[in-house]
Each structure stands twice: as C-alpha cells, then as structure tokens.
Structure 1
C-alpha cells in the first residue's frame, strides 16, 4: 500500500500544534507528540484506531509542544524514540525549567515526566522503521530553538517533516535560537528540498516549497519592523512595542498565534543590534 500520512491537530487553543502518524503497510510511525495530556492521549487513540502497532516515534526538535506527549504516546511500551543528539541534549537541559515555567498554567494537562530519545541518529543517516525509510537532516540552531532536524520520507509521497522550520499561516516563535541562522537555513535548504512535494509543519496546514520564500518574507518584514519601530536600537518601550505589534498584525491579519508577535520582539531586537544576550 502507499504510505499514508495522518495529521493530528491539537485541541489546546494557544499553540495548535501538529503531530503526524505515518501509516505503512504493517506499522505506524508517530512524528512529534504534542504538548498536553489530553492531546497526547488523543494522538495515541488516533494511532490505535488504525489497527497497526506504533513501530517508532520521531522527534523533530526539542520544544515541549513537540516532545512532552511522548510519555503518553509510548504508554510504557518498548517503542524506540528517534532524534538527533542535540534534541535529546536540549530536552535534558530545559526539562526542569519548562516544568517550573508552565506546569502552573496547564495544571493537570501538563505532563510532569518526559520520555527521552532512545535512538540517536546523525545528519545524513538513513533510518529504517518497519517498512519505512527516513533520511535525516540535522539543521542545528537555524530554527525556533537550538536543536532542529528534518526527516525526509523519500517514497512516492516525497514528504518532509520539518518541525518548526516553517510556520504556515501563523506568527512565528523566535525567542529561542537565532533569526539570522534561521534565515540562512531557509536559503540553503530551499534548493536542497525542491523535489519534495509536501512539507509537514508544527503549526499550520501542509506546505509546499513556496512557503520557504513566504517564511523568509515574514522574517524580513518582522526584522524591518523591529528596527523601524525602535529607531534602530532594538530596544522597545511600551509605545513602540504596541506600534510594532500593530504593524505585524496588520501585515498578516489572518495569521494565528498572534501572542507570539510581541513575545519574540526583544530577542530579535537584541540579535539584530548585537546587544549581548545572557
């Protein structure tokens, strides 16, 4: 049978994160695992409804909304969890901080125990999971955190699971990682991935290669607005922050995750003006 890709979009209203179930002839591969208790259990329920065992879990990057649900998707089964080493390292470095930061907000929906990658893979590896083969691209810090990877399914689907490299029709989280490295990755990866048909992203609908250009345009508009509204200083006051947010919301009126516009402004301003970040 042709490999089928099923999308699970979370019911958690703030981030609306995606996870994916790749259905092969006899098994399933889950790509990313959502944030909350309810969503991760619903993701596993959707997988179980397909009537095939989960042969593996892939984690594209280390942010909680993509890795926290692994504990419930595994359900204490001996399911291998695949990731590049930097993803596991970032999870280890940030787990306790994230628990402290977010557990109060999410309450019983917060998952207090993370399940870590068990199978570490490297850039350029071919990873066989059941009947499916994925090619791994470790793209480093050029994304919305310091540990990002792309997983390529090079069968007739020509599908790329890109995590948060692209945000389709959503404002972008830029408070971790680096905007300039991200722009460089988009530039480098566009020709490298031009033959892939579908790009499965962490937030928003399935993309195509044109969305690499749209993401670059968003970043350039964002960076320009940061500098213009701070008179080139990268430092906001209350008034300039409101003006900046209004510029971005007006430019992209239909985009979701509107709270992210202001959330990343200080970090981007510091990077663009070379202000030392601790």
Structure 2
C-alpha cells in the first residue's frame, strides 16, 4: 500500500483514515465503520489510490453503504466511481461537480462527470445512520466555495475535511483567507470534539485550529504578487510541511502560473 492508514476506535464506531502519498497531495478518505456498514468520506484524486482505499475497506468485512463527497475539488472526487456505492453530496457541491464536466486526472486518464457526479443530496441537519447520530453542516467560503462538515457527537469526532489540513501546506487558490478564518473560528468554539479529521494529512486534535490560524496569518502577510516568492517564503516558514504541490496548484489560480 502506498498510502497510510490510521484507525480511531470510538466503541460502536471505528474510523479508518487513508492518507494518500505526497504525489496525490496527501488527500484523505475516511471510512466510518458503524456496526453494520461503512460510510466513506471523499473519493481520492487518483484511481489507483481510490482502489487502495476500496481494497482496504473490503478487509473490514462490511458493505460500503455510500460515498459522501464533501466539496467540488477534483482531489476529493475524481476516484469516486471506484467505490461502487451511491455518491452523496450537498446540492451545491453536486451542481458544481456536474458543471465542471468531463476531465483528465493527473495521469491523463479520463474522468467522466456522469460517473462521479453525486446522485443523492445531503441535507444539512441530523440523521441516524445504522444507529449512529450524524450531524451534517454546510459551510460557505474558505478553502472551497461550499463544503460539508460531518460531526459524530457521541464519538466526539469532527470530520472537517478541507477546512482543516494537518502539517500540510494550505491550498489558497480560492483566495478567501478571511472566510477560512471565520470557518475555523466557528469550528474551534465548539469544544465537544476531541478528534479532528483533516482533508489533507493525519487526524489531529483541537490544537490544529490554532496552528491553521497561524498559517493563515503568515500566508496573508507573505502573499504578494509573485508566486515564486510566496512559495519560497512559506516553505521557509514551514519547512517540515508536506504538500508543496498544493502551493503550485494554488499559485496557478492566484497568479496565473503553476509556480
């Protein structure tokens, strides 16, 4: 296996977090194992890594009930068809994925929109799945235009996905640092969760919110009009962080270059 697995055991629920290698921007898929099924969260960037997740899920011995896609960034849904399960998402996220249409993944393989567009709408609110309470919340602004956050109150687990990165450089291509800070403030004020699952990187604790706010503060100061200069500066500030490819991708949006 090229990716890594971390397992969080919370009694009736076990969460298996797959983190892809650096060449796939350390994107995560979380397999939420309930008593009788598996709810997958986010579908990977590359088909090969999605296949690793699915192969691992099969070792758990429970059916994949659904794949929830949290937002419309390709690294979270290009591999969705490999899961062989209904794809769920917020209505806004569904519409954004459909609008992006067919595409090529980084290997040049075709990703058909019809295969990865969610077909089941996630409605914000509470839902009991296999006896486990889930809370679905919609966030706007920040890392992406629209994002789904999933809470498991009984397990004290917050699935924050791309509102949280853990020791990974942030993707700032949406150019909304202020919106991201506001979302983090909202998440951090709720002290009911002691496990925070990231969209990039390994699971963390609540301390990750202060770390992210510090990074956003630094990025706001260092960002200018030169992508190369910004990349060099933020790497000097956070030399041990993975995900440098994310800086390049974001710079393509911010500065019109891939550097």
* Range class of TM-score, shorter chain: 0.7 to 0.9
Query: For the structure 1 residues 186 and 268, does the alpha-carbon distance in structure 2 shift closer, same or farther, using more than 3 Å as the test?
Result: farther
Residue 65 of structure 1 deviates from its aligned partner by: 1.2
Residue 135 of structure 1 deviates from its aligned partner by: 0.2
Residue 258 of structure 1 deviates from its aligned partner by: 1.4
Query: What is the alpha-carbon root mean square deviation over aligned residues?
Result: 2.2
Residue 3 of structure 1 deviates from its aligned partner by: 0.8
Deviations 1:147-205 (A, max 9, x none): 111001122x21111111011101111112622111111122211x3210111111111
Query: Which structure is larger by alpha-carbon Rg, 1 or 2?
Result: 1
Matched, 1:65 2:75: yes
8 Å contact kept, 2:17–2:202: no
Residue 267 of structure 1 deviates from its aligned partner by: 5.4
Instruction: Give the corresponding residue for 1:273.
Output: none
C-alpha distance in 1 between matches for 2:169 and 2:146:
20
C-alpha distance in 2 between matches for 1:14 and 1:53:
26
Q: Post-superposition, which runs of at least 4 consecutive aligned residues in structure 1 deviate over 4 A? A: 265-270
8 Å contact kept, 1:83–1:120: yes
Instruction: Give the corresponding residue for 2:5.
Output: none
Deviations 1:127-164 (A, max 9, x none): 2332333101101123x211111001122x21111111
Matched, 1:84 2:90: yes
Query: For the structure 1 residues 261 and 10, does the alpha-carbon distance in structure 2 shift closer, same or farther, using more than 3 Å as the test?
Result: closer
Residue 261 of structure 1 deviates from its aligned partner by: 3.1
Residue 118 of structure 1 deviates from its aligned partner by: 2.5
Instruction: Give the corresponding residue for 1:6.
Output: 16
Correspondent of 2:45 among 35, 38, 57: 35
Matched, 1:17 2:17: no
Instruction: Give the corresponding residue for 1:187.
Output: 185
Unaligned runs of 5+ in 2: 1-10
Query: For the structure 1 residues 177 and 137, does the alpha-carbon distance in structure 2 shift closer, same or farther, using more than 3 Å as the test?
Result: farther
Instruction: Give the corresponding residue for 2:8.
Output: none
C-alpha distance in 2 between matches for 1:225 and 1:185:
21
Higher deviation after alignment, 83-92 or 258-267: 258-267
Aligned residues: 245
Instruction: Give the corresponding residue for 1:52.
Output: 62
8 Å contact kept, 1:137–1:150: yes
Residue 70 of structure 1 deviates from its aligned partner by: 1.6
Instruction: Give the corresponding residue for 1:243.
Output: 229
TM-score, normalised to structure 2, is: 0.86
C-alpha distance in 1 between matches for 2:135 and 2:207:
22
Deviations 1:209-236 (A, max 9, x none): 111111111011011012xxxxxxx433
Alignment of 1:91-130 (within 5 A): 91-96=97-102, 99=103, 102-103=104-105, 105-108=106-109, 111-113=111-113, 114-123=115-124, 125-130=125-130
Deviations 1:67-114 (A, max 9, x none): 12221101xxxx433221111111112233xx1xx44x4124x54453
| Helix, strand or coil at the partner of 1:19 | strand
